[in-house]
Amino acid sequence: MRFAEEILLLLLKEDTGYVVPVPEWKMSCALAGAVLMDLAMENRIDSDLETLTVIDATPTGDNQLDPTLAEIAADDETHAPQYWVERIAQRADAITESALEGLVEMGILDFDSGGFWSLSAKVERSGRYPTVDGRAGEEIKGRIMRTLLDDEIPDPREVAIIGLVNNCGGFQALMEPEAFELAKERIELFSGMDLIGRTIAAAVRSSYRPPESMRSIRRRQLPVVGLSAMLFSKIFRSGNLPEFMAEQSKVHGPVFELRAPGRKMVVLAGASANRWVGRKGRHFLRTRDYLEDFQTQWGTARSIASMDGAEHYRMRKAVRAGNARAVVEDRLAEVFALGRRSFREWGVGKAVPDGGEMTCQRLIGEQIARLSASIDPSGGGAVLDDLLRYEYRALLVHVLGILPKFTLRTRKMKRALAGILDLYAQIHASHTPAQRAGKRRDLVDDLMELHQGDPQFLPETDLGFAFIAPLIAGHYLGSAMAFAIYEMLVNPHLKDAIAAEADALFANGDPVAADLDLDAIDATHRFAMETLRLHPVIPMQMRTAMNAFEIDGMEIPAGASVTVAFSAPHFMDKHFKEPLKFDIERFAPPREEHRQPGAYAPFGMGTHMCGGSRWTELQMAANLLLIVRHLELEMVPANYKLKLNPLPKISLNKRFGFRVTGYRHPIDP
C-alpha cells in the first residue's frame, strides 16, 4: 500500500464514512508528503532539509506518484522539500481519489454511492487486510494505536505515518482527549524522527493558509438570473428546468443566483459543480431544513432523506442490503409475475385508465411494495394512488411553497392520509418473527431490527414513514418508465432492438438474474440510461449552506438556500453531442459520453445520491424487456407531442397515454 492509502485508512471514521475533519491545507500537505515518501522508498528522489533531487526519473507506473515525479524531474532548478510539499498539496484531491479507488480495488474499502467509504466486511471481521502482491497485514489503526498506547516499537514505515498524521492534526481529531494526552509524548517523539515529516511540519507552520495559487485572488460577484430571464426563456416556459439551468450556466458559469419574488437561491449547475458537491458538499450543505415541515405532515421527525453526517451514514448502512440490486435479482420471478398481472388489467384495445404515467406508477409501485415491504397492495392500486396524491400535495405545500396549507386538510386528503396510516399498520403487523420465518429478508426487516436494537435512533414515530419511503421513490421510477414507453413509441427502431434482446432472453422461459448481464441487455441498458439522462424525473436537490464556502471564485454565505442542479450537464453540448436528441449510442464505445466526470448524474450527487440506483437500473430494464416481449403498444392520442409538468417533479402531462393493441407473445403460458 502507498502512504496516502494508509493515512486515509488510519483517519477513516467508521461512524461517518469519511476521514476525520482536519484543516484542509494541513491534510493536503500530509498527502503531498505521503507521495514524496513513496518516491523516496522507490529510490526515485533523495532529499535533506535544504534540497530535494531526482535520482531516477523512470516512471513507477503508479498514477499517485508519477505526475509528481515528472513535475520534479522537469524543473531545472533545485528546491527544498518544503517547496515541493506546497506544490504537490495543490493536487491533494486527485491523490485522495486515486488512493480511495485503489483501496476499493484491493478489497479493503467498500464504496457507497453517496460518497461514503467503509472497511470491507472481511477486513472489519478479521482486522487484517486481504493479500496484496503476496503480502497481508494487520489493519493500520490497530497497529498505530497499539504503538502509541502500548509502548510497542514502531518500524520505520509506521514512524513515517505517525509523523504525517500528526503534522496534519489527525491524531487530535481521531482520538478521544484522554487517549491523546496519554499518547502525546510518543507522537511528538516519533514525529521528529522522519525528515519528510519534519518538512511537512515546516510547510504547515509557514503556510497558515493556502498559498495564493490555491485561493481565488479576488472573489467575484455572484451573477443574478431574475424573473424576467425566466419568463422570456422558451425553455423555462416549456417546463424543462434542467435544460433552463444548463442554458443559464452557459451564460453565467456553474454558479449563479436565481431570484423570484420573495425567493432567491444559489444554483450549482455544471459538471465542475457536481464534482465539488461530490467531494466537498458534505462539509457545507445540509438537507434537513427544507424537509422538516414535509416530514411532520407524515407524522415523522426524521428520515434518511433529511439526515446528514454520521446519522445519515448509519441509516444508509442499515438499509443498504434492503435497497441493493440483489433484492431484484433474487426476486426477479416476482417482478415478472406482477408485471404480467398488470398487463392483464390493462387489457387490449382500450387506453389504459388514468393516463400513461399513473399506469406506470402502479406497475412499479406494486413491485416495490412486494420487494421492499412484502405486501401486495392490489385491487387497482388504490392505496398507492392515495400515497401518490398525498405526497404530491405535501411537496407542493411544504417544500415548494406553491399551495397553502389548508389544501392538505380537504376531505380527499384526509381520506388519503387515513389510508396511508392503515398501510403503516399493515406493514408493521405483517413483519412479526413468526410471519417472516423462512422468507427472504426485506427492507422492513432491516428497519425493524434497527428500531428494536436502538429505539432512540429509529423510534416508532419515524418507523412508518421509513416503511413507505421506497414506495414514494417508486413513484419517480414509475414516471421514468412512462418516459421510457414514450421514447419506445417514437423510436420504433430502438424498441425493435430491445425486443430482439427480450426474445433471446425469454426464448426458453423466464430468464434469471445471471442471464441479464450487460452483453445480453446492451441496447436495453443504454436505452434506460438515455431515458434517465434526457428525462431526469428529479432534476435537482435543495440544500442549505450550513457553512460558508467558496466555489468558482465566489463566496456563498452560511444560511443561503442552495439548489444543486445535478442534471443540468445532461443538456450541455460540451458533454453530450446534440443533447436534446434521444441517442443510445452516446453510451457506447468510443463515445462513452457519460464517463466524463460530473457530466452524467441521473441519481443525484453527494451524500444523498440515491442508494437504490443499481436496483432501479435492473428493475427498469426488467420491465422494459417484459413489456416488449409481450405487448404491442400505440400512443394515445396518436398525435401526442411531448409536454412536461415541471412540479413537484418532471413528468409527462396527463394527456399522454397508450393502449395495448395486441400480444407479441402470450402473457399466460
Distances 433 to 437, 439, 441, 442, 445 between C-alpha atoms, Å: 6, 10, 11, 13, 9
**What are φ and ψ of residue 132, in 5° steps?**
-130, 125
**Separation of CA 89 from chain center:** 27
E-strand ranges in 465-557 read 541-545, 549-551, 554-556
Cα R_g (the chain), whole angstroms: 27
pLDDT reading at 562 higher than 80: yes
For every residue of 122-141, DSSP letters joined together read HHHHHSBPPPBTTB--B-HH
Q: What span, in angstroms and rounded, lies between the C-alpha atoms of 158 and 78? A: 29
How confident is the model over 379-391, as pLDDT tens digits? 546 788 889 899 9
pLDDT band at 29 (very low <50, low <70, confident <90, very high): confident
pLDDT reading at 215 higher than 70: no
How confident is the model over 494-548, as pLDDT tens digits? 999 999 999 999 999 999 999 999 999 999 999 999 999 999 999 999 999 999 9
pLDDT band at 216 (very low <50, low <70, confident <90, very high): very low
Q: What span, in angstroms and rounded, lies between the C-alpha atoms of 537 and 478? A: 10
CATH match of 3-214 with 3.30.460.10? no
Q: What percent of the chain has pLDDT over 90?
A: 67
pLDDT reading at 156 higher than 50: yes
Average pLDDT over the chain, rounded to whole? 90
H/E segment holding residue 46? strand 45-47
8 A C-beta contact, residue 587 and residue 526: yes
**Higher local confidence (pLDDT), 342 or 200:** 342
For domain 307-534+607-663, the CATH superfamily is Cytochrome P450 (1.10.630.10)
pLDDT reading at 598 higher than 50: yes
Q: What is the pLDDT of residue 135?
A: 47
Range 97-123 burial, b when 16+ CB lie within 10 A, else e: ebbbebbeebebbbebbbbbbbbbeeb
Residue partners of 435: CB distance under 8 A and separation at least 6: none
Q: What span, in angstroms and rounded, lies between the C-alpha atoms of 189 and 167? A: 12
Distances 572 to 226, 240, 577, 605 between C-alpha atoms, Å: 21, 13, 8, 17
Select the highest-mean-pLDDT range: 23-27, 90-94, 542-546: 542-546
Domains 3-214 and 307-534+607-663 alike in fold: no
Domain ranges of the chain: 3-214, 307-534+607-663
Q: Which three cell numbers stand for residue 654?
A: 396527463
Q: What span, in angstroms and rounded, lies between the C-alpha atoms of 370 and 339? A: 12
H/E segment holding residue 258? strand 255-260
Helix (H, G, I), strand (E, B) or coil at 55: coil
- Give the mean model confidence (pLDDT) for residues 551-566: 94
Whether omega for the bond prior to residue 455 falls within 30 degrees of 0, making it cis, is no
Q: Is the dihedral of CA 599, 600, 602, 607 positive or negative?
A: negative
